Amino acid sequence: KLADLLEENREELIALCTREAGKSIQDGIDEVREAVDFCRYYAVQAKKMMAQPELLPGPTGELNELFLQGRGIFVCISPWNFPLAIFLGQVAAALAAGNTVVAKPAEQTSIVGFRAVQLAHQAGIPKDVLQFLPGTGATVGAAITSDERIAGVCFTGSTGTAKLINRTLANREGAIIPLIAETGGQNAMVVDSTSQPEQVVNDVVASSFTSAGQRCSALRVLFLQEDIADRVLEVLKGAMDELSIGNPSSIKTDVGPVIDAMAKANLNAHIDHIKQVGTLLKQLELPAGTDKGHFAAPTAVEIDSIKVLEKEHFGPILHVIRYKASELAKVIDEINSTGFGLTLGIHSRNEGHALKIASKVNVGNVYINRNQIGAVVGVQPFGGQGLSGTGPKAGGPHYLTRFITEKTRTNNITAIGGNATLLSLGDSDE
């Protein structure tokens, strides 16, 4: 029912995503679709997993059953970059698994979250079962994650905040409870000399600059084999010139604003710094009028090593590193050494080579010969490892397992003279 209401109100929801989060029209369309997919997918998964107990083997005269049930009160803390899809994805999963939910949106996008909860209540979810609690992380987030009554936390955001929540849960009174966290990434793409430059650039631009680079999965570091690097960079510079920067409510806009003034300042500070460390390849000039908004110029910079990047920079900034064919093992080691493990892109027409790279890099999602954004619910379960999250993957068949608890029931049916079900059927026939 909620999925149907989302579709019925999609124009309003797209407008809210644009107004509050600065999303382009296309990004808003994709966001509503993903939220709908989450609702329907988790409803189906919950029915498959929880509708009937699993019968387990045992000796004659003994009935063993495994039941799945909700844990209790789940706290869902969502980010501003997907204020509808991730917000409702968390909430829908927790509810479908039989929990009650306290939903805290990002303070930058509380209106989108509020409207989503209104629609959930309209769909028939009781207000006591789903409660909306806006506010800052320092006040509201800290208070609810330290409450001994909660039974679990689902969080999407920075690695640092996830660690803080983990410490809070460990120090609170009450039961030991799960933390489901999806965090950031220093996402890389490895391009070898067999790749087609035009296809590479198309996927790099989509992965690095759409959504103003504000996706968890967005490409941050492009490794180019030196044999093909000059050609790829030539095409990339031309493709960047074609990007339209401006008002996200315009259908022609490719790159809208970043989320707020602090994000803009941090990105500009990083650009100033990285230009001193590396070589500026391309930086787009911001159009007239964008000085009134929070716009960061799409930028490509060549650097020597991924090690100069001490943290993820959440915006339209691409770092390029050249490598020799003989240095591939070093490239893989450098990617793994960051500790992050969210997405990896690979471009190669040598399938065996691509699969070998995929098997050696410790990430949650690998994309071969395509862009590395836009994971589809039920098709490309999304989530990382290491500093990029705890798992299980959102939009996948194992996600609900962290929202539930198990109960085994063993019944000696011989003690009541046989199968109680058959006896009760006999009574009802009289």
Residues 6+ apart with CB under 8 A from 170: none
CB 216 within 8 A of CB 312: no
- Pick the closest to residue 170 from 103, 162, 398 (CA basis): 162
d(CA 332, CA 141): 37
Phi, psi of 351 (to 5 degrees): -60, -40
Query: At which residue do the structure tokens 């987030």 appear?
Result: 141
Residues acting as catalytic residues: 182, 216
- Pick the closest to residue 420 from 428, 346, 158 (CA basis): 428
d(CA 139, CA 10): 32
Total residues found in the chain within this entry: 430
| CA–CA distances in Å: residue 277 to residues 6, 120, 307, 312 | 47, 49, 12, 16
